[in-house]
Structures are given as C-alpha cells and as structure tokens.
Amino acid sequence: MFYPPLAMTFKIRLTLISLLALAGMFSCGSNCPAQSATAKPTVAEALAFIASTEQELNTLQIDAARAGWVEENFITDDTVAILAQANDRLIARQTELIGQARRFEGLALPPDAARKLLLLKLSIGLPAPSDPKLRAETTQLAAGLDAAYGRGKWCPDADPEHCLGIDEIGVKMAQSRDPKELANLWAGWHAVGAPMRGDYARLAELSNQGARELGYSDTGALWRSQYDMTPDEFQADIERLWKQVEPLYLELHTYVRRKLIEKYGDAARRPDGMIPADLLGNPWAQEWGNIYDVVAPPASPLPYDLGAILKARNTDAPHLVQYGEGFYKSLGFDALPETFWKRSMLSHPRDRDVVCHASAWDIDNVKDVRIKACFQPTADDFVVVHHELGHNYYQMAYRNQPFFFRDGANDGFHEAIGDAIALNVTPDYLKKLGLIDQVPPASADIPLLLHTALDKIAFLPFGLLIDKWRWQVYSGEVKPDHYNAAWWTLREKYQGVAPPVARTEADFDPGAKYHIPGNVPYMRYFLARVYQFQFYRAMCQAAGYKGPLNRCSVYGSKEAGARLNAMLELGHSKPWPEAMKAIAGTDKADASAIIEYFQPLLVWLKEQNKGEKEGWTLPADSMK
Ligand code: X8Z
Ligand code: ZN
C-alpha cells in the first residue's frame, strides 16, 4: 500500500498540507515564540513546533485515512486519483516538517520531546522526492499499484463471469488436491504481477531519491531504522532469531515434503529436494495449514474441522467478528464501538472492485476503528478476525497518548497482538463457545500442534525473505532485469520451495503478493511470529496457567488482560524493549517461547524424519 504503510494496517501515520506551512516557519501561528532563521533555537521553540506539528498532522491525517479507506473500498480511476493527491500532500508536508525539525538537532530536550522528533523523522513509509512533479509521479504510481492488486483477477476462460479474485483463488488453492488445477490457479494468480514490473521499478527509484533527500542511503535503510537500534543491529537481530527457529522449519519441511510425495508422486518430487510452491494450500506457500489432511499422521485426523463447523452453522462475517470481540471483552477490554459495525467492510461486495486483503483502520485516531476484509467462514479467517481486532484494540488502548505515540511499540508488535490472542483458540475455548462438544484427549496434541506449525513455522522463512528481497531492490543490489530471479533465489534459499511452472523476467511474481504493490513493509510479520509467542506465554503466566504452553487459553482472565494492556497503552511512547518488558519481563526478542510451544512436535517430527534426507540443494548460480 502506498500511503505510509501504517495507514492501512493500523493508521495513516503521516499527513497532509497546511496553509500555515510557510517556508522556514513553524505552523504555530500567533503562538509562535519569537525566532529568527539564524538564532539558536530554544527548547520552548522546539516544544511549540512539536505541539503544532502534532495538531496539524492529526487533523490532516484523518483526510488521508478517508481517501485510503474509500479507494480500497471502491476502486475507480477517481478514487485512485484522490488517494494519490491526498498522499502527495501528506508526503510533501511530512518532508517539510522533517526538514524544519533539523534545526532542533543537538538541543537538550525533555525525553518525550526528543522521542517525538525522532519519530517524526522516521515515520515516513513512502519517501518521495521534494520536486513536486516527481512526488506526484511517486504517489500516482503507488496508488495505481495498490489498485492494480485490488483489481487483479484470473480469468480461466473467455467468460468474464468465470474470473476469479484472490479471495476465491485462495479458497480453491486451500481445497483442491489436483496438481494440474493447482498449477493453473498458481500461474493464473501470479500473472497479475507481470504488468506491475515497470511501475514498481520506477517507484523504487523515486522512493529511493526521496529517502536520500531525507538523509538515508535508500528506502530499505529508512525502514530498518525504525527499531530503536541501528539498521545493522536490526539486521543482526533478525539473523539471530532466524537461526533460533530455522531447525524447526527444516524438520517441518522434511516431513511435509515426504507426505506430499506420498500423495502426489512425481508432481511433488524434485531432484533438488524443494517443494513445488503450488502444493502447500496457499497462493504464496506462506502458510500450509490448509493441507493438514494431506500430511496428517496416519489415523490422526484433526479432532475437529473448525471451518466445516463454521460453515455448517452459516456463520456470517459479523458473527465471525463477534467471536473475536468476545475474546477481547473477556479479558476486560471494551466492546467495539457502534461505528465499527456500521462502517467496516466485512464481506466482499457483489458489485465493485475492492482490496480484499484484510486490514484494520483507525480513521480518526480516537474511536473510529474499522476492519476491511472479505471474510469467509473458514478456520483461516477465524484467525484473521482475531488478528485484525488486535490492531483495533491496540489503537483503542493507546488513544490517550499524544499523537506521535499513537502507534505500536514497533510494527512487529502491532502485528503480533491479535495473533497472540488467536493462539488461545484451544479446544477448551471452542468448547466454551459451544463450537465443539468435547475436548479431545491429550493424544490430539500432536495433530493440533502440527496444524498450528503448518501455519506458524512454515511462515517464518517467508516472513523473512520478502523484505530481504525489497532491501536488495532498494539498495540497488538487485536491478529490475533480475527482479524475478532474485525473488526465486530467496524463495529457494529460505523456504526450499520452487515455482511450479517455469519463470522468466517476463514475470513479476513479487507483484502477486499484496504487500509489494501495497508498499507494506513485511519484516514486521517475521518479528510478530516470534513476539506473539512471547506475549502469549506472558499472558498465560499472568493468568496463573501452569500446564503445557500449547493448551493454555487465557479466555476470561482479567489478569492476562491487564498484563497485555500494560504494554498496549504505552503505544510508541517508549523504545520497544521497554514495551516488551512491560508484558514479558525481558527487553529482548526471544524465540524460546515459540520453541517451548512446539517442543513436543519437534520431538515427534524428528522421529518421523529418521532416515530422511533433510534440506535441499540450490541451483549452482544462486549458491553465493
Ligand atoms: O497481511 C496480513 C494481515 C493484515 S496486517 C492480514 N498478514 C500477513 C499476510 O497476509 O501476508 C497476516 C499474516 C501475514
Ligand atoms: Zn496485521
């Protein structure tokens, strides 16, 4: 998504133009302290600048949020143009304010004020050149790419009635067990990316120019600067976490590959040991829970099929969301506001193009929270509901913070809240909801853990590689004529998956993943996979739970809710390690909780994989 990515997933972060914004002057009007261009600025001037900036950005942000909301709910040439203009104003003003704030550098400010100036400098998600023509080109390209994804369809034949959007393709790829059909669906959806290549390359170039004007080497460096440590330290921290979890992924990959070969034979077998990316139940092979039935241990079907139960009960989208809301309420959080139900888009409208990819919004930075999604009664969407509500409850928890602190401790925190809550959807909890009649015996733990691992563990290398690709693109290490090859080099290296049909540079497969045309940074989701288990374990401890981690549900625990809220209400007011401390008692990201959660499965997988060759070989030209 092109407007600052936070706009879509949690809020419009930065904002529009002000008539008060005269060159070299603060927009504090008659309240401006006396000043001159050369005089050394005072603390009072800095505080006045911050106060007026917060007010201005807050007001203007609402307009940009509305433009984004309407465009994604009703994609037309006009809404795309309106969005581009809103973001043009937003980025222009943001860039000006960052420039003006430079004069306060080196001034001894109160810690909160210094942090606000730092956040002002960091919080621009799509930097653009200050040349108005180039900036307009940037915002138009970005809005166009977002719309192109939303409009994307695969038409298997000449009848337009048969065209499929990504929500329908997602369901078909989850359910089909026919390798030919899967390859067609995969290739059909990935064709959506190809026309985006030129625009994407130009957008990266323009965005880099904007980043350089702001003092960063490229847009990737700006993105990596958002984590209360240097970009290099951040990269090292990511590698540390990946090394902690990589062994789990290798075991899962080895097991799943064998089961797929048992099921599909040659269609799944490759001499290099990689898995064809279309056989994993998801258009991007990012989460594999949908193929549980294919890889299930003998005589161990899942004890219940949540998707089938929801469907049999004709659970509609609002009802699905009410399940999620019920969980948050049980922890002591408020009900969702009336306006949430009136203004959210919860199902695919019949008669217009929308961006179906689920997102949570905070339109007015106070209480106008909403979800935009095309929910279906599936187990996947049961999780997505909790995920999106996690964003909305975070937004509501930090709404009393000043403007600059109304955000997550970092973007990974924002992505982790709802997932941490969804981990509590245990058999015990489903029985409490009346969705199942009986809690399955302890022997069902391995099937349930395997199902969860297919989503959570399988995702880890995917979450890692998307921005590894984008960082290479932004740094210039990967040039446009190698976009697709570089994408697959990373997919092969980290995930051990291969394209089911031949790829060339006529394809642009990154474009078929929402967050690339949508300009949403992705490392946040990798971080969130680690954080969510830390948050979940901390809530379980707060609730006084003592058993195996995978069976914990804190449903109804006000103590767990209070522990969570202690972190949520901090928003972005403190560096993220302090927020981590507030919930988990440690100031480090740490994969020990995810490892603890899956420990029984890891033992089981190792047993299953005995004698099996682990891993895969990479093509010689990508071994560097
Ligand atoms: O994009 C999302 C959320 C919205 S913030 C639905 N997720 C990533 C994805 O779908 O690729 C959640 C998991 C990863
Ligand atoms: Zn999210």
Ligand 2 centroid–CA 75 distance in Å is 21
Ligand nearest to the CA of 1: 1
pLDDT band at 20 (very low <50, low <70, confident <90, very high): very low
* From 298-302, 391-395, 454-458, 483-487, the region with the lowest mean pLDDT: 298-302
One-letter amino acid of 63:
D
394 CB-near residues (< 8 Å, 6+ apart): 10, 408, 413, 414, 417, 568
Residue bearing the CA closest to ligand 1, atom 13: 525
Average of per-residue pLDDT across 40-56: 96
Q: What is the mean pLDDT of residues 492-513?
A: 98
pLDDT tens digits for 424-446? 999 999 999 999 999 999 889 99
Average pLDDT estimate for 532-539: 98
Ligand 1 pocket list (CB less than 6 A):
9, 358-359, 384, 387, 525
**Which of 9, 415, 459, 467 to probe ligand 1 with, by most ligand atoms within 8 A of CB?**
415
Test site for ligand 1: of 72, 284, 525, 529, most ligand atoms within 8 A of the Cβ: 525
Residue 29 has a pLDDT of 35
Q: Which ligand is nearest to the CA of 8?
A: 1
The protein residue with its alpha carbon nearest to ligand 1, atom 14, reads 525
C-alpha 510 – ligand 1 centre gap (Å): 15
The mean pLDDT of 380-403, rounded to a whole number, is: 97
Angle at 237 between CA 231 and CA 243, to 5 degrees: 140
Of 605, 620, 530, nearest in space to 253 by CA: 605
Hey, what are 64's tokens? 């940009």
CA of 360 to the centre of ligand 1 (A): 11
Please give the average per-residue pLDDT across 53-64, as a whole number: 89
Nearest Cα to Cα of residue 447 among 605, 323, 579: 605
Q: Which ligand 1 atom lies nearest to the CA of residue 463?
A: 14
pLDDT tens across 304-319, in order? 999 999 999 999 999 9
Q: Which ligand is nearest to the CA of 412?
A: 2
Residue 39 pLDDT: 77
Cite the beta strand spans of 456-605 per DSSP E.
Answer: 497-498
Name the one residue in this structure whose structure tokens are 């309106």: 82
Q: Calculate how far, in angstroms, residue 506's C-alpha sits from the geometric centre of ligand 2.
A: 31
Amino acid 301: pLDDT:
81
531, 533, 535, 538 alpha-carbon torsion, rounded to 10°: -140
Q: Using an 8 Å Cβ cutoff, are 511 and 197 in contact?
A: yes
Rounded Cα–Cα distance for residues 294 and 262 (Å): 9
Structure confidence at residue 99 (pLDDT): 95
**Which tokens belong to 120?**
């002002």
Cβ(344)–Cβ(361) under 8 Å?
A: no
Place of tokens 């995917």: 462
CA pair distance 516, 533, nearest whole angstrom: 26
Task: Assign 3-state DSSP to the chain and report helix, strand, coil percentages, each to 5.
Answer: 60, 0, 35
CA distances from 267 to 115, 182, 547, 556 (A): 55, 11, 42, 47
CA distance 64 to 56: 13
- Per-residue b/e over 433-451, b at no fewer than 16 CB within 10 Å? eebbeebeeeebbbbbbbb
Give residue 38's pLDDT: 63
Q: What is the mean pLDDT of residues 35-53?
A: 86
Strands (E), 369-501: 369-372, 497-498
Whether 377 shows a pLDDT value over 50: the answer reads: yes
pLDDT at 8: 36
How far is CA 61 from its chain centroid? Answer: 21
Hey, is 361 helix, strand or coil? strand
Q: What is the pLDDT of residue 622?
A: 64
Band of the pLDDT at 19, cuts 50, 70, 90?
Answer: very low
| Alpha carbons 552 and 438: distance in angstroms, whole number | 17
Going by alpha carbons, the residue nearest to atom 6 of ligand 1 is 358
177 and 259 in contact (C-beta within 8 Å)?
no
Supply the pLDDT for residue 545: 98
**What confidence score (pLDDT) does residue 14 get?**
26
Residue type, 250: L
Q: Which atom of ligand 1 lies nearest, measured to the CA of 391?
A: 5
Q: What is the pLDDT of residue 303?
A: 92
**Residue 553: CB partners within 8 Å, gap ≥ 6?**
424, 425, 426, 428, 429
> pLDDT above 70 covers what percent of the chain?
93
pLDDT tens readout for residues 147-159: 999 999 999 999 9
Up-side HSE of residue 325: CA atoms within 13 Å toward CB?
Answer: 16
Nearest to 90 by CA among 210, 218, 228, 197: 210
Kindly give the distance from the C-alpha atom of residue 417 to the centroid of ligand 2, in angstroms, as a whole number: 9
C-alpha 384/C-alpha 346 separation (Å) is 12
Q: Which secondary-structure segment (H or E) carries 267?
A: none
CA of 143 to the centre of ligand 2 (A): 20
Going from the Cα of 529 to the center of ligand 1, the distance in angstroms, rounded, reads 11
Nearest listed ligand to the Cα of residue 515:
1
User: What's the confidence (pLDDT) of residue 280?
Assistant: 98
Quote the pLDDT of residue 124: 87
- 230, with CB counted inside 10 A (0-12, 13-18, 19+), is exposed
Write out the two tokens for 595. Answer: 């490892």
Could you give the residue numbers annotated as active site? 357-358, 387-388, 391, 415, 515, 525
Per cent of the chain over pLDDT 90 is: 89
Averaged confidence pLDDT in the chain: 92
Q: Where are the domains of the chain?
A: 20-121, 137-296+449-519
The atom of ligand 1 lying closest to the CA of 9 is 5
Best residue among 284, 357, 376, 389 to mutate for probing ligand 1's pocket (most ligand atoms within 8 Å of CB) is 357
pLDDT band at residue 25 under the 50/70/90 scheme: very low
Q: Which atom of ligand 1 is nearest to the CA of 284?
A: 11
pLDDT tens readout for residues 122-167: 978 899 999 999 999 999 999 999 999 999 999 999 999 999 999 9
Under the banding of pLDDT at 50, 70 and 90, the label for residue 9 is: very low
Average pLDDT over residues 525-535: 98
CA distance 138 to 129: 8
pLDDT at 299: 78
Are the C-beta atoms of residues 218 and 212 closer than 8 Å to each other?
yes
Q: What is the distance between the alpha carbons of residues 35 and 25, in angstroms, rounded to a whole number?
A: 9
Q: Which residue has the tokens 């399988």?
A: 458
Q: Which two tokens stand for residue 74?
A: 């009703």
With 50 as the cut, is the pLDDT of residue 555 above it? yes
pLDDT at 491 over 70: yes
Task: Please state the rounded mean pLDDT for residues 83-93.
Answer: 92
Distance in angstroms (rounded) separating the CA atoms of residues 478 and 498:
20
Q: 24 or 598: whose pLDDT is higher?
A: 598
Domain 137-296+449-519 class in CATH? mainly alpha
For residues 16-45, average pLDDT: 48
H helix or E strand, kind and range, residue 359: strand 359-362
Q: What is the largest CA-CA distance in the chain?
A: 79
DSSP β-ladder status, 359-362 and 369-372: antiparallel
